[in-house]
C-alpha cells in the first residue's frame, strides 16, 4: 500500500454538484482492490493558465488515497477514458 | 572604479525557503511557486532565488508538474 495523490481536471460544463458523486464512483476501483480513500477535495471551477481542449476553465479535484500501484494505474486508465476529464495526474508526495 | 566593483563582496542572499520553514514544495501551492518564476513564466535561476541545489530541483519539478495541470503557464506574454 502506498500513499497517492490524484488530481483531475474536469470539463467546466459539468454541474459542480455532480462532480463528487461521479468521482466517488470511479474510486470504487480503489476500494474493491483493498485500498482506502482518505480525502476527496473538489476545488471547484478554476481558470486554466492555458486552454485545454479549447476550454479556458476546469473543475479541479484532488484525492488522497492509500492503494496498491496496480489499483491506481487502473483508476487512472479508467479516468482517462472519460471524455469529460481533461487531465489527470498521479503523484506520490513522499518521493522527493 | 572598475577595480572597486570587482572587489565588492556580493551580498549574501537569505534562503527564502529556510526563512519560512518550508520543507516540502507542493506543486499545488501556486502562490509559493510564483515567487520562483519570472513574469514570462520561466523558472528563475538559483543565483536569483538563493535556494540550495536540492531545493532548486524540487522547485523545478513542482513548477513542471503545476504546468502540466495548467496551474502555471508554460509561457506568458510579458504585459
Residues within 8 A of A (CB atoms), B 19-48 only: 24-28
| CB of B66 closer than 8 Å to CB of B29 | no
Residues within 8 A of B (CB atoms), A 6-35 only: 7, 9
In a domain, B79, yes or no: no
In a domain, A94, yes or no: no
Determine whether the interchain pair A93/B24 forms a contact, defined as Cβ–Cβ distance below 8 Å. yes
Partner residue opposite B73 with nearest CB, options A49, A60, A62 = A49
Nearest residue on chain B to A9, judged by CA atoms?
B69
In a domain, B6, yes or no: no
* Number of separate domains in chain B: 1
Q: Chain B closest CA to A86's CA: distance in Å?
A: 10
Residues from chain B contacting residue A50 (CB–CB below 8 Å): 70, 73-74
Residue with cell 479508467: A78
Q: Give the model confidence (pLDDT) of A19-43 as tens digits.
A: 889 999 999 989 998 889 998 999 9
Distance CA A80, CA A18 (A): 18
More confident residue, B13 or B60: B60
pLDDT at A71: 92
In a domain, B59, yes or no: yes
The whole domain housing B46 covers 14-67
Q: Which ipTM value was assigned to this complex?
A: 0.84
Distance CA A89, CA B33 (A): 18
The whole domain housing A43 covers 1-89
CATH number for the domain spanning A38: value is 3.30.70.60
In a domain, A52, yes or no: yes
Q: Crossing angle, helix A16-32 and helix A69-81, to 10 degrees? A: 140
pLDDT at B3: 56
| CB of B74 closer than 8 Å to CB of B41 | yes
pTM: 0.83
Helices (H), chain B: 2-7, 16-20, 30-33, 46-49, 53-68
For β-strands A55-67 and A85-91, DSSP reports them as: unpaired
- Rounded to an integer, the average pLDDT of B10-31 is 84
- Rounded to an integer, the average pLDDT of A65-88 is 93
Please indicate if any CB of chain A lies within 8 Å of the CB of B70: yes
In a domain, A96, yes or no: no
CATH number for the domain spanning B29: value is 4.10.640.10
pLDDT class for B5, splitting at 50, 70, 90?
low
Whether the per-residue pLDDT at B78 is higher than 70: the answer is no
In a domain, B20, yes or no: yes
Residues from chain B contacting residue A48 (CB–CB below 8 Å): 70
In a domain, A2, yes or no: yes
H/E segment holding residue B11:
none
Residues from chain B contacting residue A53 (CB–CB below 8 Å): none
* Number of separate domains in chain A: 1
pLDDT at A64: 93
Q: Chain A closest CA to B5's CA: distance in Å?
A: 40
Inter-CA distances, A14 with A63, A73, A89, Å? 18, 25, 20
Instruction: Give the SS3 label for residue A10.
Output: strand
Amino acid at each position: 500500500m502506498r500513499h497517492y495523490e490524484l488530481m483531475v481536471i474536469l470539463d467546466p460544463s459539468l454541474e459542480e454538484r455532480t462532480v463528487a458523486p461521479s468521482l466517488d464512483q470511479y474510486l470504487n476501483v480503489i476500494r474493491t482492490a483493498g485500498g482506502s480513500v482518505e480525502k476527496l477535495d473538489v476545488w471547484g471551477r478554476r481558470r486554466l493558465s492555458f486552454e485545454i481542449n479549447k476550454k479556458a476553465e476546469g473543475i479541479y479535484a484532488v484525492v488522497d488515497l492509500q492503494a496498491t500501484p496496480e489499483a491506481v494505474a487502473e483508476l487512472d486508465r479508467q479516468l482517462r477514458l472519460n471524455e469529460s476529464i481533461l487531465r489527470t495526474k498521479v503523484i506520490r508526495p513522499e518521493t522527493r | 572604479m572598475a577595480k572597486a566593483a570587482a572587489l565588492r563582496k556580493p551580498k549574501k542572499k537569505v534562503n527564502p525557503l529556510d526563512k519560512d520553514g518550508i520543507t516540502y514544495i507542493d506543486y499545488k501551492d501556486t502562490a509559493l511557486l510564483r515567487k520562483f518564476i519570472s513574469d514570462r513564466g520561466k523558472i528563475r535561476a538559483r543565483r536569483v532565488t538563493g535556494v540550495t541545489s536540492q531545493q532548486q530541483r524540487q522547485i523545478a519539478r513542482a513548477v513542471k508538474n503545476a504546468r502540466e495541470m495548467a496551474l502555471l503557464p508554460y509561457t506568458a506574454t510579458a504585459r
